[in-house]
Amino acid sequence: MKVLVSAIAFLVALTLSFPTFAQRSAAEFFEEGNTKAGTGDFNGALQAYSSVIAMSPEHAPSYFNRGLAKANLKDHRGAILDYDRAIELNPKESLYYQSRGVSKSLQDDFRAAIEDYTKAIEINPEEPKTYYNRGVSYAKLKNHRNALTDLDRALSLNPDELAALYARGNCKQDLQEYAGSLADFTRVIELSPKRTGAYAGRGLAKLQLGDYQGASADFTRAIELSPNDSELYANRGFAKNKLEDFTGAIIDFDKTIQLSPDNFLAYYGRGFSKGRLNDQRGAIADLTKSIELKNPYVGDPKKIVYAGKINKEKLEELRDQVQQPVKIDNLTNERAEAYYIRGMNKAKVGDTKSALQDMTTAVELNPTYSSAYFSRAMIRSASGDQMGAVLDFSSSIKLRSDYPEAYYLRGILKNSLGQVNEGCMDLSKAGELGYQQAYKVIASFCN
């Protein structure tokens, strides 16, 4: 959800007087910059503000406005440098911090953006756009509770702001607060009846709430507005499956696949429909396609392509730096703990195959043995089975949600396999849980 603050509104708002030594020509250049920005000539505006800066190098509004021009030209790094200088000259202007936060957000530097939005709020706590922007950044970092708090505040200041309502609807869905999500999307539709995303979002909420007929109707309206959006047909197909309209569902999944041939979810849904219509061969073919299509968890693990920013050598270096804590547990009747410790020792002497067998026995005897999944993941990764390692780290995390090493290692594995965004989110979670090494990896491989 990308956010770009209106540059022109700020440009006009910041038309300030110049110091007397700057001469009238500087003021004229400044007005020329405003005029050109207002007509969309951001290159021309940038040059005009540069002329002002050459004549009056401590005029903060010119740095700020030049930053806005650069931002509109997608030069966010350059914009940030100008915002930095504007803030240095005038650290009490909330718009400067907000705009710098926007450019940082558009570079996916959401943590730094949040710091800027927070400073802007300290200076001007009554600006709804800043709460909205900070809420969106929190949502990008999966901190949905903080995001919801900010979006609530934005809407308390401006109750019918469409972007904030839409963002809050999405945030509530991520928090599984589907009734609230439905209400927000309904309000968006009341204010703007032709927003495809609002119908799609409300349809997803209705699906979760069991209103399959209502969900299907919302997806139908969304399709009328955006007839080439493959996901809308897929979602309506799932709603039809819930309604046991399997023939209608197949029609929707056919359309999804026509528009998006690699949509494995559509093959899954269509396979289910065919099975219910007693077309077992067709169902098997579709479900097989769903399993195999773009699935990094099938195939020969030894032939994995390290497609991410972390290469094989770096992966091994980072993984081997992790010290796995081992403590003695009470021995249960099944003796899973003995298999686990034996497996750890076999791994240390290089007996990988037997170590894996012991770890597998440990988790078979105790399916909630988080440490055994973690250790098996380490052994699998070291032997080249990165996909199996990811699955084991995921099992470990499912059993113990506060396992920072598991998030960290899954993060570097996913990054190395080309799932860079997912990997970086895992690294972020590891850092949040106190594993500081994660931030060094983020700095090197997530920006």
Residue range 188-224, pLDDT digits in tens: 999 999 999 999 999 999 999 999 999 999 999 999 9
**First and final C-alpha spacing in the chain:** 18
Assess whether 409 and 431 both reside in one domain.
yes
Q: What pLDDT, on a 0 to 100 scale, did the predictor assign at position 15?
A: 43
Distance CA 133, CA 5 (A): 9
Is the pLDDT assigned to residue 3 strictly greater than 60?
A: no
* Sign of torsion over alpha carbons 159, 163, 165, 167: negative
Q: What pLDDT, on a 0 to 100 scale, did the predictor assign at position 47?
A: 86
Q: Tell me the mean pLDDT in the region 389-405.
A: 94
Residues contacting residue 117 through CB under 8 Å, at least 6 positions apart: 97, 98, 101, 130, 131, 133, 134, 137
Is the pLDDT assigned to residue 433 strictly greater than 90?
A: no
| Band of pLDDT at residue 436, cut at 50, 70 and 90 | confident
Please return the burial class of 433, using the count of CB atoms within 10 Å of its CB with bins 0-12, 13-18 and 19+.
middle
Assess whether 276 and 357 both reside in one domain.
no
The 3-class secondary structure across 369-389, one letter per residue, is CHHHHHHHHHHHHHCCCHHHH
> Of 258, 279, 213, 275, nearest to 240 (Cα)?
213
Distance CA 201, CA 355 (A): 47
DSSP 20: G
Q: Tell me the mean pLDDT in the region 78-93.
A: 94
> Of 169, 172, 197, 171, nearest to 184 (Cα)?
169
Cα radius of gyration (the chain): 27
Please return the burial class of 36, using the count of CB atoms within 10 Å of its CB with bins 0-12, 13-18 and 19+.
buried
Residue range 242-270, pLDDT digits in tens: 999 999 999 999 999 999 999 999 999 99
Assess whether 318 and 435 both reside in one domain.
yes
Assess whether 222 and 253 both reside in one domain.
yes
Q: What is the mean pLDDT of the chain?
A: 89
Is 403 domain-assigned?
A: yes
How many percent of the chain have pLDDT more than 90? Answer: 67
Q: What pLDDT, on a 0 to 100 scale, did the predictor assign at position 347?
A: 87
Asked if 36 contacts 48 with a C-beta cutoff of 8 angstroms, the reply is: yes
Distances (CA, A) of 16 to 19, 44, 56, 261, 377: 10, 20, 13, 56, 61
Residue range 12-43, pLDDT digits in tens: 434 444 454 444 588 899 999 999 999 999 88
Using the 3D structure, point to which of 292, 317, 342 is the last residue of a domain.
292
Assess whether 279 and 387 both reside in one domain.
no
Is 140 domain-assigned?
A: no
What b/e readout covers 137-149, taking b as 16+ CB neighbours within 10 angstroms?
bbbbbebbebbbb
Q: Tell me the mean pLDDT in the region 359-371.
A: 94
Q: What pLDDT, on a 0 to 100 scale, did the predictor assign at position 295?
A: 75
Is 130 domain-assigned?
A: no
Is the pLDDT assigned to residue 313 strictly greater than 70?
A: yes
Assess whether 384 and 438 both reside in one domain.
yes
Distance CA 134, CA 138 (A): 6
| Band of pLDDT at residue 331, cut at 50, 70 and 90 | confident
Is the pLDDT assigned to residue 301 strictly greater than 80?
A: no
Is 336 domain-assigned?
A: yes
Using the 3D structure, point to which of 99, 125, 151 is the last residue of a domain.
125
Q: How many domains does the chain have?
A: 3
Give the CA angle between residues 87, 91, 92 to the nearest 5°: 130
Assess whether 336 and 441 both reside in one domain.
yes
* Claim: this prediction has a pTM higher than 0.95: no
Residue range 143-191, pLDDT digits in tens: 999 999 999 999 999 999 999 999 999 999 999 999 999 999 999 999 9
Using the 3D structure, point to which of 270, 292, 314 is the last residue of a domain.
292
Residues contacting residue 366 through CB under 8 Å, at least 6 positions apart: 332, 334, 336, 372
Asked if 406 contacts 426 with a C-beta cutoff of 8 angstroms, the reply is: no
Half-sphere exposure of residue 256: CA atoms within 13 angstroms, side-chain side: 23
Domain span including residue 261: 183-292
Assess whether 283 and 315 both reside in one domain.
no
Least confident span in 121-135, 233-247, 303-317, 349-363: 303-317
Is 203 domain-assigned?
A: yes
Least confident span in 256-270, 299-313, 415-429: 299-313
Q: What is the CATH number of the domain that holds 50?
A: 1.25.40.10
Largest Cα separation within the chain, whole Å, is 90
Is 391 domain-assigned?
A: yes
Assess whether 32 and 115 both reside in one domain.
yes
Asked if 76 contacts 52 with a C-beta cutoff of 8 angstroms, the reply is: no
